[in-house]
């Protein structure tokens, strides 16, 4: 598949993704029964993952969205820029951060610091993708979808310069 000036091949198809999303939701349903967690989806990339995950979360819960950015083209800038912030009071809440991908760990580390200072009771991460080889700041991911190689990926909400978010599958960059 071609997106803008780059070529990609399928890394994970929608059937694999769907199956894993249901498994993650089942684990969350079990672990958070009776706890009323607040899900915080990180936009833009996590929008498809968050929507599919929440279809299978059957416990009382809320969801909100924040927008942060640390990527430019196919590389992490290393800087986390908060674009749209959190409006809900998270004091004494159980938070579950919904992230499309954890690679360097910079974005999640930044958010964990911010949320801890606001008095959350607990904070866990559900990430569809994790790139262990790219980690610069180690974070604990309680609910992990897939561990992938340190390659640029697009699709299922992830983008290349704003394009490719609308595919059902996840594609990796062909070098």
Q: What is the pLDDT, as a whole number, of residue 73? A: 47
Residue 158: pLDDT over 70: yes
Q: Which residues pair with 94 in a beta bridge?
A: 122
Question: For position 74, what pLDDT does the model report?
Answer: 47
pTM of the entire structure?
A: 0.90
Name the pLDDT band for 174 (thresholds 50, 70, 90). Answer: very high
- The chain-wide mean pLDDT, for the chain, equals 91
* H or E element in which residue 109 lies: helix 106-117
Average pLDDT over residues 48-60: 98
Q: Stretch 1-10: mean pLDDT, rounded? A: 95
Is 52 tagged catalytic? no
Tokens of 99: 């992230």
Cα distances (Å, whole numbers) of residue 2 to 6, 9, 12, 106: 6, 9, 16, 29
Domain spans in the chain, listed from the N-terminal domain onward: 2-72+79-173
Residues 59-118 pLDDT 10s: 999 999 998 865 544 455 555 556 567 888 999 999 999 999 999 898 888 889 888 988
- Domain 2-72+79-173 = CATH 3.40.640.10: no
List 103, 159, 161, 169, catalytic entry: 103
Are 50 and 43 within 8 A, CB to CB? no
Q: What is the DSSP letter of 13?
A: -
Edge-to-edge order in the sheet of strand 153-154: 2-3, 6-12, 170-173, 153-154
């Amino acid at each position: 598949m071609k997106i803008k000036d780059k070529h990609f091949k399928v890394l994970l198809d929608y059937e694999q993704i769907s199956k894993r999303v249901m498994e993650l939701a089942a684990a969350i349903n079990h672990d958070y029964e009776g706890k009323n967690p607040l899900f915080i989806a990180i936009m833009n990339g996590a929008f498809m993952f968050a929507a599919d995950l929440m279809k299978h979360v059957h416990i009382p819960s809320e969801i909100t969205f924040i927008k942060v950015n640390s990527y430019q083209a196919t590389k992490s800038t290393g800087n986390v820029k908060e674009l749209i912030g959190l409006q809900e009071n998270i004091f004494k809440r159980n938070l579950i951060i919904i992230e499309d991908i954890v690679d360097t760990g910079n974005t999640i580390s930044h958010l964990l610091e911010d949320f801890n200072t606001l008095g959350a009771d607990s904070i866990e991460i559900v990430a569809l993708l994790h790139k262990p080889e790219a980690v610069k700041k180690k974070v604990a991911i309680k609910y992990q979808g897939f561990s992938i190689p340190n390659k640029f990926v697009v699709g299922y909400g992830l983008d290349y310069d704003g394009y490719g978010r609308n595919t059902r599958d996840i594609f990796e960059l062909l070098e």
